[in-house]
Chains A and B, each alone.
Chain A
Amino acid sequence: MSFNVLIVDDSSSMRAVIRKIISISGFKVGRCYEAANGREALDILLENWVDVIISDINMPGVSGLDMLDHLKADDLLKDIPVIVVSTEGSDERIRSVMSKGAKRFVRKPFLPEDIRKILYEVIGVDNEGRYCDVQETPDGGDF
């Protein structure tokens, strides 16, 4: 099983770093989309299925917070898990981000391990890309 990921950050360098971390972490990626702000991200979500979003907050145009509001208001998009990666990591800001529906918050600067661990937790899979809560039978079936 592979997962489609959307990385949202106005820094192309930061997007490249996150993409690299994901690729070397063993996480099974299908498509990896990139957006430079919330508007571009929402446009991508209109056309493509995404399993997890990794997003900055402070971006020109539609910010990460605005994007979270849009996602929360959309029945099709509201359940996509969002991991926020930002420098603006005060306790108050983290509370605000989580109240808007984000699943996790990662402060910059981060270590690759921080992103990998949280990505696996949020998507709910183990290192082999299997859902952690699926109890497999001895013959490999799901029931």
Chain B
Amino acid sequence: MKADTATFRKLLTEAIFETFEKMFFLFLEPIDRDPEGCDLESAVQFKGFIEGRLEVSLSRNLATAMVSNMLSCSTGDVTDAKIEDCAKEAANVICGSFLQRLDRRGDFNLSTPSFRRVAGVNRNVSEGEGMIRICFDSDCGGLSVRAFVSEHRPHPGRGPE
């Protein structure tokens, strides 16, 4: 697992960039600290050639910009329900894109995404064995994405593509 961390981090970063640029028309800047004000969290669990959970923490400002850009509506038209829906879809798409980059041929299933309001990013969880944390800033607010990989069963002869 430790040997794979750099690859996981690179592929997860690419998946996040792709998702935010294509779906939300937002450009993120990687940062090396947890952003402030990330009090919304969506998550999805994955099971297949690899198992674990992906969590996306984001600020309300960023979530509002995501909804506004995705739906081409004014920020005044952004509702809590739209923010929840959008945050869930972000976790879902980032996770799918990450897993496909890891192994295009490997099959997997995603759970229905969940959403909750939290008191900022959980700093008690430190990066290490089985966990990757990547943080970003943007013009609209911060983002933190964490991937918890509990089991990795690479197929014989298959590496990241």
Contacts and interface: CB of A to CB of B under 8 A. Distances in A.
Bound together: yes
Interface of A: 10-14, 16-17, 20, 58, 60, 86-93, 107-111
A113 B82 CA distance: 24
Interface size class of B (residues with CB under 8 A): 20 to 34
Contacts of A16: 71
B23 interface: yes
B67 to A, nearest CB: 7
A13 B86 contact: yes
A109 B107 contact: no
Nearest to B100: A89
B98 to A, nearest CB: 10
A13 B105 contact: no
Contacts of B96: 86-89, 107-108
B89 A11 contact: yes
B104 A109 contact: no
14 contacts: A13-B70, A13-B85, A13-B86, A17-B70, A20-B72, A86-B96, A90-B105, A90-B108, A93-B107, A107-B97, A108-B92, A109-B18, A109-B93, A111-B22
A21 B92 CA distance: 20
B112 A60 contact: yes
B122 interface: no
A26 B54 CA distance: 37
B93 A58 contact: no
B108 A109 contact: no
A58 B112 contact: yes
B89 A91 contact: no
Overall SS of chain B's interface: helix
Nearest to A15: B85
Contacts of B67: 13
Nearest to B96: A87
B71 to A, nearest CB: 5
Interface in B56-109: 67, 70-72, 81-82, 85-86, 88-89, 92-93, 95-97, 99-100, 103-109
Given A90-B100, A91-B104, 16 more contacts: A11-B85, A11-B88, A11-B92, A12-B82, A13-B71, A17-B23, A17-B70, A20-B71, A58-B109, A88-B109, A90-B104, A90-B106, A91-B105, A92-B106, A108-B97, A109-B22
B112 A109 contact: no
B144 interface: no
B19 A109 contact: yes
B140 interface: no
B110 interface: yes
A87 B107 CA distance: 12
